[in-house]
């Protein structure tokens, strides 16, 4: 019995494989570009800031001195009222940064570590320009992991969402200016 020789032309198959390899390379580069486009936390806002927000009394604007370094820092109330000085005014309260990206800064001021009468503040601000940030402050809540604020650098509890620390209030406006 004689076997027949089979001639297979691999040229079209090789052309299709090269085309598939080119498409896979394009797809892989898109995935790498998308992954590198995600913001990473860094010390973008390390330094000294002055905060301006509504006073707890609801009357007027109060100031605070803010110092941030390596995802931690202090908050010092500068409001100057005698009641604030008795409670927490002038005392440095610790803070922890939950997120420091080019598009936002989120941190929690732990006033309750200084005194039970000092508020815990959850703050989220976004840049206006190179020296100013604006956003909101919520009194009585601890910031933890959420869609906007990831707690990769936080010592705060991370059970998802906001954690009530005391009677929480609605968010108020805050602005920070680099000193």
Each residue's pLDDT expressed in tens, for the chain with a length of 179 residues: 666 666 666 677 666 666 655 565 556 555 545 544 577 889 999 999 999 998 877 788 889 999 999 999 999 988 766 655 556 778 899 999 999 999 999 999 999 998 888 889 999 999 999 999 999 999 885 555 343 443 333 333 333 333 333 344 556 899 999 99
Counted residue by residue, the chain has a size of 179
**From CA 143, how far away is CA 106, in angstroms rounded?**
8
**DSSP E strands: which ranges in the chain?**
47-54, 61-69, 72-77, 92-101, 104-110, 120-129, 132-139, 141-142, 163-164, 172-178
Grouping H, G, I as helix, E, B as strand and the rest as coil, residue 15 is helix
CATH for 47-178 is 2.40.128.120
CA distance 95 to 71: 8
Q: Distance between CA atoms of 6 and 43, rounded to whole angstroms? A: 68
């Amino acid at each position: 019995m004689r076997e027949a020789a089979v001639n297979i032309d691999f040229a079209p198959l090789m052309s299709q494989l090269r085309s598939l390899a080119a498409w896979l390379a394009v797809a892989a580069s898109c995935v790498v570009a998308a992954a590198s486009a995600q913001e990473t936390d860094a010390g973008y806002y390390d330094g000294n800031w002055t905060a301006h927000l509504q006073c707890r009394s609801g009357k007027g604007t109060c100031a605070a001195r803010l110092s941030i370094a390596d995802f931690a820092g202090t908050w010092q109330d500068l409001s100057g009222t005698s009641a604030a000085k008795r409670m927490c005014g002038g005392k440095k309260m610790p803070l922890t940064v939950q997120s420091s990206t080019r598009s936002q800064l989120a941190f929690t001021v732990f006033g309750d570590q200084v005194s039970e009468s000092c508020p815990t503040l959850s703050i989220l601000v976004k840049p206006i320009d190179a020296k100013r940030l604006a956003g909101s402050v919520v009194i009585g809540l601890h910031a933890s992991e959420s869609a906007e604020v990831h707690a990769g650098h936080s010592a705060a509890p991370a059970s998802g969402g906001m954690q009530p620390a005391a009677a929480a209030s609605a968010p108020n406006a805050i602005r920070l200016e680099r000193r």
